[in-house]
Amino acid sequence: MSVQKTNLSALNVKAGVSPQETISSNAIRQIKEFRKRQPSAQELIDGILTGNITALSRAITLVESTNPAHLEKATAVIKGSLPNANKSARIGITGVPGVGKSTFIEAFGKHLTSLGKKVAVLAVDPSSTISHGSILGDKTRMEELVKDENAFIRPSASGETLGGVARKTRETITLCEACGFDIILIETVGVGQSETAVHSMVDFFLLLKIAGAGDELQGIKRGIMEMADAVVINKADGDNIKKAQLAKVEFNRALHLFPAKKSGWTPIVATCSSLTKEGIGAVWQTISDYIELVHSNYYFAEKRKEQNLFWMIETIDEQLKTHFYTQPNTIELLESTKTAVQNNEVSPFAAAQILLDNYYKK
Amino acid sequence: MSVQKTNLSALNVKAGVSPQETISSNAIRQIKEFRKRQPSAQELIDGILTGNITALSRAITLVESTNPAHLEKATAVIKGSLPNANKSARIGITGVPGVGKSTFIEAFGKHLTSLGKKVAVLAVDPSSTISHGSILGDKTRMEELVKDENAFIRPSASGETLGGVARKTRETITLCEACGFDIILIETVGVGQSETAVHSMVDFFLLLKIAGAGDELQGIKRGIMEMADAVVINKADGDNIKKAQLAKVEFNRALHLFPAKKSGWTPIVATCSSLTKEGIGAVWQTISDYIELVHSNYYFAEKRKEQNLFWMIETIDEQLKTHFYTQPNTIELLESTKTAVQNNEVSPFAAAQILLDNYYKK
């Protein structure tokens, strides 16, 4: 029984063949050392560029760190990864809880790796700070994909603000791309502003639905339907197939009410089953068609440039506010000014001017 | 004929009665002087508080001025007006072009003045800079209201940004209130972000519609339907009455899909005709009911406090960005940094950091 088990391992030693002791102990020591000491930025870059998952994971941890001392190294690793990044297809996947995002990603991811693709699965979920990982946290729902050596799954960075989580995810995309992952799936929950953030960092945005959930109005209202390049109705299996077909007609009608997209792409509605795998291949075909189109009309590169600028400007806006509101002289004056504004003793604009004058003169 | 005309004038001199030369020439000189020279901030405040329309108009012109020298005086006038402001009902009115906003405001405004109210009509229309006043510009559509001495109509301030226009309108509200206007109507066009700005400065938000326009989805999508305290279907007259009744049922259904409002108010749908005046009185009754409710549950004061804070924070955000982007050392570095970001030579976050470090070290 014990022998049997050993034989199953890829690291087993064939009976009668002596292991090359020096080499293997050397290798073990190197691995142990690498794990123990903090690798330099250059070592991490070298590791990432050769597809080393340990180096990738460590670099992501660095990017996610809130320790200011890690910032410089993280910046250097990103800088070194950039020339080799930017070559993947980035796909955003959203849907309210219950549509089966995890099982869809499991089925879709396995399909992609079966085509020889390397797939990274990331998540943007600012609520994970509180709920300790509401999405992607439960890797058991992606049992097959977790074991797949061509897949890399990383739960959402935690952070107090969506901006912080989004920044970390976006830098993680760069690291994954440099590490050779050619498809990046970014999952987000169908609540709050996180869809808009994910939409601003992907090439293709996929909205996952189930038939008869009755949340169409929510999707329209919050602009998510408008962002979607494809609406995929999941769980189209068994008794659900008819309902899913009906939902497809309805979503098609709703999508046609929106103006044409700048990409030149007409959003499609499809059905699939993560259980039977029916329609999963067609989803990838759709995305491939999209990518071919936007490469041919140059929209792909144009959009990525726009997204880069968007994130630069967003970061500047956020930092300017953080700097202003954390200055001691602002903090000192803020509460009394707020009270005066609330009590109509000073106009909001005059109050803003008082705080700004105080801030700039420091 | 000439004598006849003279007799019609209120300033005519009765035959046989000598005019009091000294007094009348004194008064004329005072008026002329007031018109010619720039009145002081205190003179403007005094004028506004006694209901002087000339002083009000001049103060608004000061508030709208882009001349930095006028800023200090404008601020002083606002400060002097504040203790006497804040007592009106502020009503936002929106609707896409064609729903008959001007004729509705004419009919609604006349109804209010007939009840002894003093009504100020303002507008937020950032496009007016380009189109030279697309709304409220054509006062001929408010012929009766223009002549009404208890009504004051002021077209949209012009400005390059919505923020600028909104600020000017908000300060104008303060001046109008201090001048004794107890109802402030603020019109905006049903396009762009201007509804959100107006919604943030009014107590009651009225969405004007016509039957069968088919723009329901637009309203839901852009969140305007959700902001509305009342949806009023205009032009419910003649052949339109039946269609308007049907539309009323539909809008009622749509409104019920939204979550309950913090105000405790259930939005209503009504029909009216600016032509026959049918339903115009009921609109005012609805608004009065709303105001009674939100006074009794303290939401009225709470919301105004929130709005004051909102505008302070918005102004700070806007000014921080303006200051950053107009610094010579930012301008110097911005274009090359943008290019580097677009070409993936530097990550958006690193680029933002470079620009910010450069800005703060100055």
Domain boundaries, chain A: 35-83, 85-297, 313-360
Q: Which residues of B touch A78 (CB under 8 A)?
A: 347, 349-350
What CA–CA distance (Å, rounded) separates B349 from A312? Answer: 6
DSSP state for residue A184 in the 8-state scheme: E
> Is the CA virtual torsion B344, A168, A161, A355 positive or negative?
negative
Report, as an integer, the average pLDDT of B134-138: 53
Mean pLDDT score across all residues of chain A: 86
Percentage of chain B beyond pLDDT 70 is 85
Q: Which residues of A touch B356 (CB under 8 A)?
A: 316, 319-320, 323
Count of A–B CB contacts within 8 Å? 139
Best residue in B302, B307, B308 to probe A by mutation, most A CBs within 10 Å? B308
At B224 the pLDDT is: 83
At A140 the pLDDT is: 64
Of A308, A321, A351, the CB nearest to B348: A308
CA distance A170 to chain B (A): 9
Cβ-based burial of A186 (10 A; exposed 0-12, middle 13-18, buried ≥19):
buried
* Cα–Cα–Cα angle for B5, B11, B15, rounded to 5 degrees: 70
Q: Between β-strands A119-124 and B151-153, what pairing exists: parallel, antiparallel or unpaired?
A: unpaired
Pick left, alpha or beta for residue B116 (phi over 0 → left; psi -120 to 50 → alpha; otherwise beta).
left
Which of A3-7, A137-141, A300-304, B128-132 is the most confident on average? A300-304
Q: Which residues of A touch B312 (CB under 8 A)?
A: 337-338, 341, 348-349, 351-352, 355
At A218 the pLDDT is: 64
At B258 the pLDDT is: 80
Report, as an integer, the average pLDDT of B146-152: 94
3-class secondary-structure state, position B121: strand
B152-188: pLDDT as tens digits? 999 887 776 888 888 999 999 999 999 999 999 999 9
What CA–CA distance (Å, rounded) separates A284 from B334? Answer: 39
Best residue in B306, B308, B312, B345 to probe A by mutation, most A CBs within 10 Å? B312
**Which has more pLDDT, A257 or B149?**
B149
Positions of E strands within chain B? 89-95, 119-124, 151-153, 183-189, 204-210, 230-234, 268-271
Cβ distance of A344 and B221 shorter than 8 Å: no
φ, ψ of residue A102 to 5 degrees: the values are -60, -45
Which chain A residue has the Cα nearest residue B310? A348
A306-347: pLDDT as tens digits? 999 999 999 999 999 999 999 999 999 999 999 999 988 999
Token pair of A106 as six digits: 């499991």
pTM for the complete prediction?
A: 0.79
Best residue in A221, A337, A346 to probe B by mutation, most B CBs within 10 Å? A221
At A132 the pLDDT is: 43
CA distance B79 to chain A (A): 6
Of B75, B305, B341, the CB nearest to A312: B341
Q: Which residues pair with B92 in a beta bridge?
A: B186, B205
Best residue in A63, A308, A311, A331 to probe B by mutation, most B CBs within 10 Å? A308
Residue B102 in this model has a pLDDT that exceeds 80 = yes
B38-96: pLDDT as tens digits? 899 999 999 999 999 999 999 999 999 988 889 889 999 999 999 999 889 999 999 88
> Is the CA virtual torsion B209, B211, B213, B217 positive or negative?
positive
Q: Which of A256, A266, A254 is nearest to A294 (CA)?
A: A266
Q: Which residues of B touch A317 (CB under 8 A)?
A: 317, 321
**Residue B256 — very low, low, confident or very high, per pLDDT cuts 50/70/90?**
confident
Of A78, A174, A220, the CB nearest to B221: A220
CA distances from B59 to A54, B73, B173 (A): 67, 9, 12
Of A308, A313, A347, the CB nearest to B78: A347
B289-333: pLDDT as tens digits? 999 999 999 999 999 999 999 999 999 999 999 999 999 999 999
Pick left, alpha or beta for residue B39 (phi over 0 → left; psi -120 to 50 → alpha; otherwise beta).
beta
Q: Which residues of B touch A341 (CB under 8 A)?
A: 308-309, 312
**Residue A162 — very low, low, confident or very high, per pLDDT cuts 50/70/90?**
confident
Provide the CATH topology of domain A35-83: 1.20.5
Confirm if B231 and B207 have CB atoms less than 8 A apart: yes
At A49 the pLDDT is: 97
Q: Taking the domain A85-297, which CATH number applies?
A: 3.40.50.300
Cβ distance of A308 and B344 shorter than 8 Å: yes
Report, as an integer, the average pLDDT of B224-246: 93
**Which has more pLDDT, B258 or A362?**
B258
3-class secondary-structure state, position B12: coil
At A35 the pLDDT is: 65
Report, as an integer, the average pLDDT of A14-27: 58
Residue A103 in this model has a pLDDT that exceeds 50 = yes
3-class secondary-structure state, position A274: coil
User: Which residues are CB-neighbours of A35 under 8 A, at least 6 positions away?
Assistant: A54
Token pair of B119 as six digits: 């009504």
Cβ distance of A305 and B217 shorter than 8 Å: no
At B191 the pLDDT is: 67
Confirm if A157 and A168 have CB atoms less than 8 A apart: yes
Task: Please report the ipTM that was assigned to this predicted complex.
Answer: 0.80
What CA–CA distance (Å, rounded) separates A66 from A165? Answer: 11
**Which has more pLDDT, B218 or A184?**
A184
Q: Which residues of A touch B305 (CB under 8 A)?
A: 342
Best residue in B221, B307, B339 to probe A by mutation, most A CBs within 10 Å? B221
What CA–CA distance (Å, rounded) separates A269 from A201? Answer: 22
Cβ distance of B320 and A324 shorter than 8 Å: yes
At B29 the pLDDT is: 75
> Is the CA virtual torsion A81, A82, A88, A92 positive or negative?
positive
Which chain B residue has the Cα nearest residue A85? B344
What CA–CA distance (Å, rounded) separates B66 from B257? Answer: 44
Cβ distance of A349 and B316 shorter than 8 Å: no
φ, ψ of residue B108 to 5 degrees: the values are -65, -45
Q: Which residues pair with A205 in a beta bridge?
A: A92
At B35 the pLDDT is: 65
Which of A254-268, A311-325, B178-192, B247-261 is the most confident on average? A311-325
CA distance B317 to chain A (A): 7
At A295 the pLDDT is: 96
Give residue for tokens 């004038």.
Answer: B9
Of A86, A226, A360, the CB nearest to B344: A86
DSSP state for residue B156 in the 8-state scheme: P
Q: Which residues of B touch A316 (CB under 8 A)?
A: 321, 324, 352, 355-356
Confirm if B352 and A315 have CB atoms less than 8 A apart: yes
Cβ distance of A226 and B223 shorter than 8 Å: no
Q: Which residues of A touch B341 (CB under 8 A)?
A: 308-309, 312
Q: Which residues of B touch A257 (CB under 8 A)?
A: 217
Cβ distance of A220 and B220 shorter than 8 Å: yes
DSSP state for residue B158 in the 8-state scheme: P
At A148 the pLDDT is: 94
Token pair of B216 as six digits: 């329901």
**Residue A136 — very low, low, confident or very high, per pLDDT cuts 50/70/90?**
low
CA distances from A358 to A45, A305, A351, A354, B163 (A): 44, 37, 11, 6, 22
At B217 the pLDDT is: 63
CA distance B201 to chain A (A): 12
User: Which residues are CB-neighbours of A221 under 8 A, at least 6 positions away?
Assistant: B220, B221, B223, B226
Of B86, B312, B321, the CB nearest to A352: B312
Token pair of A202 as six digits: 């992907």
Residue B214 in this model has a pLDDT that exceeds 90 = no
Of B308, B337, B347, the CB nearest to A171: B347
The amino acid occupying position B55 is A
